[in-house]
Amino acid sequence: MKLLRYTLFVISLSLVFISCTEQKEEVQFELSGKITDAGNKAISLNRVTLTGQKSLIASTTADDRGNFLLTTDKALEEAIYQFSVGGKGVSFVLNGQDRKININGSFHTLEQYDFDLTGSQLTGSQTLAYEKIIKKQWPKPMLVDYFNNQENALVAIQTGIAFLMGSPDDYAYVREIVNKVDAEMPNSPYTREFKEFVEYYDKKAAQSTGSAGRFAVDIGQPAPDIALPNPEGEIMKLSDLRGKVVLLDFWASWCGPCRRANPHVVSLYNKYKDEGFTVYSVSLDRNGQKQRWVQAIEQDKLAWKSHVSDLKYWQSAPAQRYGVRAIPATFLIDREGVIRKLNPRNTLEQSIKELL
What is the b/e burial string over 269-295, where b = at least 16 CB atoms within 10 angstroms of the residue's CB? beebeeeebebbbbbbbbeebeeebbe
Return the percentage of the chain with pLDDT > 70, whole number: 89
Q: What confidence tens digit (pLDDT) does each residue in 303-330 have?
A: 999 999 999 988 899 998 998 888 889 9
Q: What confidence tens digit (pLDDT) does each residue in 184-216 have?
A: 898 899 999 998 888 877 766 655 544 445 688
Number of other CB atoms surrounding residue 356 within 10 Å = 13
Report strand pairing: 79-85 vs 339-342.
Answer: unpaired
pLDDT, residue 6, reads 46
Say which DSSP state 25 is in.
Answer: P
pLDDT, residue 179, reads 82
Residues, the chain: 356
**Alpha-carbon gap, residue 263 to 307, rounded angstroms:** 16
Residue 292's alpha-carbon distances to 236, 253, 285, in angstroms, are 20, 6, 8
**Alpha-carbon gap, residue 201 to 218, rounded angstroms:** 20
The side-by-side arrangement of strands in the sheet containing 29-36 is 67-72, 29-36, 100-106, 115-118
Q: What is the set of domains in the chain, with CATH numbers?
A: 29-133 (2.60.40.180), 151-209 (no CATH), 227-355 (3.40.30.10)
Q: What confidence tens digit (pLDDT) does each residue in 144-164 have?
A: 999 988 999 999 999 999 998
Report strand pairing: 339-342 vs 329-333.
Answer: antiparallel
pLDDT, residue 197, reads 86
DSSP sequence for 168-218: HHHHHHHHTTHHHHHHH-TT-HHHHHHHHHHHHHHHHHHHHH-TTTT-SS-
Q: What confidence tens digit (pLDDT) does each residue in 207-247 have?
A: 554 444 568 888 889 999 999 999 999 999 999 999 999 99
> How confident is the model over 277-297, as a mean pLDDT?
93
Q: What's the helix, strand, coil split of the chain in %, to 5?
A: 40, 25, 35
**Alpha-carbon gap, residue 129 to 174, rounded angstroms:** 17
Q: What confidence tens digit (pLDDT) does each residue in 246-269 have?
A: 999 999 998 888 888 899 999 999
The enclosing H or E element of 306 equals: strand 306-308
Least confident of 182-186, 199-203, 278-282, 351-355: 199-203
The pTM of this model reads 0.56
Q: Give CA 246 to chain center in angstroms.
A: 29
pLDDT band at 25 (very low <50, low <70, confident <90, very high): low
Residue 51's alpha-carbon distances to 85, 155, 170, 180, in angstroms, are 21, 16, 20, 20
pLDDT, residue 108, reads 94
pLDDT, residue 160, reads 93
The average confidence (pLDDT) of the chain is 87
> How confident is the model over 33-54, as a mean pLDDT?
93
**Alpha-carbon gap, residue 18 to 168, rounded angstroms:** 64
- Evaluate if residue 24 carries a pLDDT over 60: no
pLDDT, residue 347, reads 79
pLDDT band at 110 (very low <50, low <70, confident <90, very high): very high
Amino acid identity of residue 89, one-letter, is: G
